[in-house]
């Protein structure tokens, strides 16, 4: 799994002009799922997301996690995070999981994040043409790949 996590002061997702999810302060998480992903990848990544300390404390240092600031999550599926661009100019998405594998993992990620945060996770619509808007706070953007656990 690959996640692009953006610290936001607000974010929303629209499909066909209708808002499917919106949040105030928290994380916009763009989530890519590949064929090789397992439940272990999901659990590890969910823990990382919820415990990531990138929110400012009283001294202006990035010391607080999502729970410390009562933050929210907007989770958006994004298979293009597994684009391969080595050859030519047209990306290949062969590493991205097919919907029959990706959808159950995406839905499990939603449930796992909700369990860890105790809050409803806002979402887009899997496979839809989404319009995602955000105000990146900082800017702070963190990329995590479960296959590169550094």
Q: Please give the positions annotated as active site.
A: 80
**Residue of 53, 39, 55 whose CA lies nearest to 112:** 39
Residue-wise over 64-85: b if at least 16 C-beta within 10 A, else e?
bbbeeeebbbbbbbbbebbeee
- Work out the burial of residue 147: count CB atoms within 10 Å of its CB; fewer than 13 is exposed, 13-18 middle, 19 or more buried: exposed
């Amino acid at each position: 799994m690959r996640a692009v996590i953006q610290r936001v002061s607000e974010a929303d997702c629209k499909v066909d002009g209708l808002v499917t999810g919106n949040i105030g302060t928290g994380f916009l998480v763009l989530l890519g799922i590949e064929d090789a992903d397992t439940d272990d990848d999901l659990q590890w990544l969910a823990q990382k997301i919820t415990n990531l300390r990138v929110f400012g404390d009283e001294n202006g240092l990035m010391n607080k996690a999502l729970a410390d600031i009562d933050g929210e999550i907007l989770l958006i599926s994004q298979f293009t995070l597994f684009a391969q661009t080595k050859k030519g100019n047209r990306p290949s998405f062969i590493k991205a999981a097919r919907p029959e594998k990706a959808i159950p993992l995406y839905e499990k990620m939603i449930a796992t994040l909700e369990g860890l945060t105790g809050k409803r996770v806002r979402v887009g619509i899997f496979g839809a043409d989404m319009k995602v808007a955000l105000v990146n706070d900082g800017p702070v953007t963190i990329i995590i790949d479960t296959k590169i656990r550094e």
